[in-house]
Structure 1
Amino acid sequence: MISIEQASEIILGQDTEPVPIEVSLEEARGYYLAEEITSPFDLPSFDNSAMDGYAVCGESSTYRIVGEIQAGSGDEYDLQPGEAVRIFTGARVPPNTTSVVMQEKTRVDGAVLYVDDSVDKGSNIRRRGNELSLGERVFSPGHYLSPASIGQIGSLGMDTVRVYRKPDIRIISTGDELIPPGRKKKEGQIYESNSYALNAVLEQYGFSCLERTHIRDDFKAIKEGISGYLDRSDVLLLSGGISVGDYDFVKQALEENGVEELFYKVYQKPGKPLFFGRKGDKFVFALPGNPASSLTCFYIHVLPLLQKLSGAEDPGLQRILIPLKHTFDNRSDRPIFLKAKVEDQTVTILNRQSSSMIQSMAMGNSLVFFEEPGKVPKGERVTTILI
């Protein structure tokens, strides 16, 4: 059995080579950049108005209105002292503009503009290059493409971008007791939920499951299922059948498919019976069957590898230190991840922490991590992983 830190070192220490591809800007959300983005021009590329109002020349209380400039217009004016033009947000301001006065602070009588406030030099003008300068680095390789990042790239005139390919992922769940949701449940049966949760959490973080299936506790069927999926996957996720019971066939089936064990069992709670292996350039995680254990192992161990394979510069979930809302007596004999909820700048550890219970994880938005047992007082800052 290895520590959480050792498991992370093994996972992130794997020799991988992310594959660059080119995608359209419409497809780019959720990918990681495979190239450096620099600005091809100053942004803004011209001085423009920050609001609807009047571009004025000189500091006065009255001006003569000599024209109008709309956003996108090529009209040019050589403003002289005492002159003004009606101007709209985003429109190019004339070279001699002293200030743009918002329309709410003006009155108009025919061609005369009256300003009800002082004219502050340079106010309400977005200056050329005040966001980005020509040649300035915008994003580095490994940057995650959020909607705002895509908007920024679009503002530079790019309609395609080089990113790293996401891994092909497949899921196998195992267990005789499991049946699909929607069927009538008999005595002793359980609705299979892990593959649905894993599929959903993959999508949450920008990945997708290409195929998923359920296999009964039959060694030959599990071995054949692993063989078929492994050939077509970059990462294979299995749920259940990895403990030491008489019908836990996954570990043996992986070995007979030529999967090298990189570690088996992690000194943590929940999720101790976690397997991580490799066959060539393909990776396998065999996750515990208990729902909370399965998802916890995904957040802590699986996701960082998926992000690394996708070219992320800093794989893993965000960890913060935040005050505990209440006193908590941690009696765990192992380092533990507890389902929790962050709100109002504090974190609450939720009830129903059993590894078989997913309801508390569904109500939470984080995991609190404790390395050692002991009583933790209210207000102490604790390590909190945002999920």
Structure 2
Amino acid sequence: MVGNMALFGRKKKAEPEVDEETKPILPPAPRADLNGLRRVADHVDYLLNLVHPLKPFGMAVIDAFDQVVCEDINSLINVPANSTSRVVGFAVRVSDLQDEDGKPVESLVLAKDVEHLGTGQAVRVGVGEAVPRGATAVLPEEFVEEKADRIEVVQAVAEGEYLRAAGEHLAIGERLLSKGDTLNERNIGMLAAAGIDRVLVRPKPRVVIVASGAELVEPGAELGHGESTDANSYLIAAAAKAVGATVFRVAVHGNDTQELKQAITDQLIRADLVISTTGGSREDYEAVAAAMSELGLVDAVEVAMSPGRTQTCGLIGEERVPMVMLPGNPVSAYVSFQVFVVPLLRRLMGADVHRRTVRAIAKGMLRSVKGQLHLLRGELIDDGRVRSVARVADPFAMAELNRSNALILLDERTEVVRPGEVVQCWVMGEF
């Protein structure tokens, strides 16, 4: 028994079960290129891994403008709902226009206020007016001679002639919109015509723009020495609205890290995405980066792109809200928004994240640096036959953007584009 004493020894106290908390982590960082830079496509994919499409909900179709539908939508009714007349005339049954021997019938009884057309009857109808049930054609009034209670048939018609059949425009079950389509005023009208009053859509992403900078003041405020008006946050707020977001803008006048932390934390409750815009100083950038690091997980990287090489993103707060810090230079901020933030917003909306490019003929010499994506501001001209693009350059960044309607994409393999050669472009405002 001695050998088994251990089985009857003091009972070991059970260790309390502890739920291991899974600490949030950022996705694995993509591999850098030989120059230590992250490829643009890799960084876009990295950002897209931070978010998921927002949860869909039902909404009245009239309120769903610019929303992305989350399911295929089919017509619930026939349009027109009833067969209607294409002409002024008389609704008839074609079978009544011949007797049993196949000889033409000379006259039909003129009926009034009938829902179902009886044998040998005709009913007067106007253009677009519903014909009685049972009618299979319409005799134009030129084809008959109308008497007091009868019509004499001068010329017969074939089955379906001068008749618009029920469901001719839209049939029950016909596809109207597909999952991922964005509602506009025209297809909202189509949905209403098809008997649809509610749709399943994703909400517009809520974007909070946190503007900061020691030397920035609000538009309209008096400028002190060394100060400048904050234009970046207004530019990016408007750009986010153009994509389809609901935008809130908050200004922090300074670059104090703790003040920035508090401002960001206060906004997380209403944010699906936070975007930081700053002034151009190193201190402004470092203050936001420090606030982000204290609030969550941060990825700071240099991307093989010009302008906008330095990119910072992260997951902030307990809910791990995605946050992107844009460069301080207005052109760099705007280009970075188009390249990286637009796909994020489109993913949240449940829309296609792949942007459409157009081909255009370069009107002048364009130069780039091999190994990076270079996005030049351009003026795209389409005369209906040829699409051409010219580079726009201006020492005032906002003027340069204001004069541009496209971004010219020079890929990593391109060093020189000569006049007359074809380039790829993004049209601003088209996604």
- The 5-angstrom pairing of residues 186-225 of structure 1 reads 186-225=224-263
What residue number does 1:347 align with?
A: 388
TM, length-normalised to structure 1:
0.79
Cα distance in 1 between the residues matched to 2:90 and 2:428: 47
Cα distance in 1 between the residues matched to 2:402 and 2:83: 49
Task: Please tell me whether residue 375 in structure 1 is matched to residue 417 in structure 2.
Answer: yes
Say if 1:65 and 1:85, in contact at 8 Å, map to a contact too.
no
The verdict on how the C-alpha distance between 1:97 and 1:278 changes in structure 2, with shifts beyond 3 A counting, is: same
Task: Please tell me whether residue 299 in structure 1 is matched to residue 338 in structure 2.
Answer: yes
1:245 to 282, 285, 295: 282
Task: Please tell me whether residue 89 in structure 1 is matched to residue 128 in structure 2.
Answer: yes
Cα deviation, 1:312-370, whole Å, max 9, x if unaligned, reads 2x1254x233332x43322222322222334324132242266x612233233322211
Task: Please tell me whether residue 276 in structure 1 is matched to residue 313 in structure 2.
Answer: yes
What residue number does 1:48 align with?
A: 84
Larger Rg: 2
Cα distance in 2 between the residues matched to 1:363 and 1:98: 60
What residue number does 2:304 align with?
A: 267
Say if 2:91 and 2:137, in contact at 8 Å, map to a contact too.
yes
Task: Report the Cα offset of residue 15 of structure 1.
Answer: 5.1
Task: Report the Cα offset of residue 17 of structure 1.
Answer: 4.9
Q: Give the residue type in structure 2 aligned to 1:377.
A: P
The verdict on how the C-alpha distance between 1:129 and 1:381 changes in structure 2, with shifts beyond 3 A counting, is: farther
Say if 1:178 and 1:190, in contact at 8 Å, map to a contact too.
yes
Q: Superposition RMSD on alpha carbons, in Å? A: 3.8
What residue number does 1:285 align with?
A: 324
What residue number does 2:400 align with?
A: 360
Q: Give the residue type in structure 1 aligned to 2:340.
A: H
Task: Please tell me whether residue 384 in structure 1 is matched to residue 410 in structure 2.
Answer: no
The verdict on how the C-alpha distance between 1:145 and 1:92 changes in structure 2, with shifts beyond 3 A counting, is: farther
Q: Name structure 1 gaps, 5 residues minimum.
A: none
- The 5-angstrom pairing of residues 156-167 of structure 1 reads 156-167=194-205
Task: Report the Cα offset of residue 5 of structure 1.
Answer: 0.8
Residue 259 of structure 1 aligns to a residue whose secondary structure is strand
Cα deviation, 1:89-142, whole Å, max 9, x if unaligned, reads 3644775454686x9xx79999799xxxx9898566443333443334433333
Residue 255 of structure 2 aligns to a residue whose secondary structure is coil
The verdict on how the C-alpha distance between 1:214 and 1:328 changes in structure 2, with shifts beyond 3 A counting, is: farther
Task: Report the Cα offset of residue 192 of structure 1.
Answer: 1.2
Task: Report the Cα offset of residue 80 of structure 1.
Answer: 6.5
Number of residue pairs matched by the alignment: 370
The verdict on how the C-alpha distance between 1:143 and 1:124 changes in structure 2, with shifts beyond 3 A counting, is: farther
The verdict on how the C-alpha distance between 1:221 and 1:343 changes in structure 2, with shifts beyond 3 A counting, is: same
Task: Report the Cα offset of residue 239 of structure 1.
Answer: 0.7
Q: Give the residue type in structure 1 aligned to 2:227.
A: Q
Cα deviation, 1:185-238, whole Å, max 9, x if unaligned, reads 344322112222222222223221134223312233223322322354221011
Cα distance in 2 between the residues matched to 1:33 and 1:250: 36
What residue number does 2:14 align with?
A: none
Q: Percent identity?
A: 22
The verdict on how the C-alpha distance between 1:80 and 1:4 changes in structure 2, with shifts beyond 3 A counting, is: farther
- The 5-angstrom pairing of residues 23-42 of structure 1 reads 23-42=59-78
Cα deviation, 1:16-64, whole Å, max 9, x if unaligned, reads 2521222222211121223332333333333234x664467689xxx99
Say if 1:327 and 1:375, in contact at 8 Å, map to a contact too.
no
TM, length-normalised to structure 2:
0.72
Q: Name structure 2 gaps, 5 residues minimum.
A: 1-36, 98-106
